[in-house]
Amino acid sequence: MKLIYVYVYFLLSFLSCYSQVEQNNTIYEYLFVDEIPKFGERGRDFSNYLYNNINLPKNFSGSDKVLVSFVIDEEGNVCNIDILKSNTIICRDAVQVVMSSMPKWKPGKLEGQLVKVRLYIELVFKIE
């Protein structure tokens, strides 16, 4: 019987310790942070990465505008990728793949702390 009380005591003490861990899962919009996430060192690094890594079929022709929402987390990872608008499945899938395989970004900051930041981009495809 005493063994059961000891077991319950230890179980409850570990649960109370776990509950004191505070996690901030807030995702901030890019307009409300002190420092927005950055990709690479130069301003055109993001555009160059997309241009060099997006794979469309050789026989694809036409145009499309793809609006993408994504989050850069505190470690600089791209996550929560959401294609908000696209007229073609081919472009939508190509953007999804290239965004999912992106290297780390420099994370955004709010009041000196690294935070998750939601960004939006519009990619325009014109292939003839």
- 10 has a pLDDT exceeding 60: no
Per-residue pLDDT, 2? 47
Query: What 8-state DSSP symbol labels residue 104?
Result: P
Look at strands 113-127 and 27-29 and give their pairing.
Answer: parallel
* Nearest partner of 124 among 51, 75, 55, 58, judged by Cα: 51
> Where do the domains of the chain lie, and which CATH numbers do they carry?
24-127 (3.30.2420.10)
> Residue 74 belongs to what H/E stretch?
none
CA 125 – CA 128 distance, rounded (Å): 10
Per-residue pLDDT tens for 23-60?
678 999 988 899 999 998 887 898 999 989 999 888 88
CA 79 – CA 96 distance, rounded (Å): 11
* Nearest partner of 37 among 72, 68, 67, 69, judged by Cα: 72
Q: What is the CA radius of gyration of the chain?
A: 22
Per-residue confidence band for 22, with pLDDT thresholds at 50, 70 and 90: low
CA 1 vs CA 13, 14, 97: distances in Å: 19, 21, 58
CA 49 vs CA 19, 38, 52: distances in Å: 42, 13, 5
Per-residue pLDDT tens for 55-99?
988 888 888 999 999 999 999 999 999 999 999 999 999 999 999
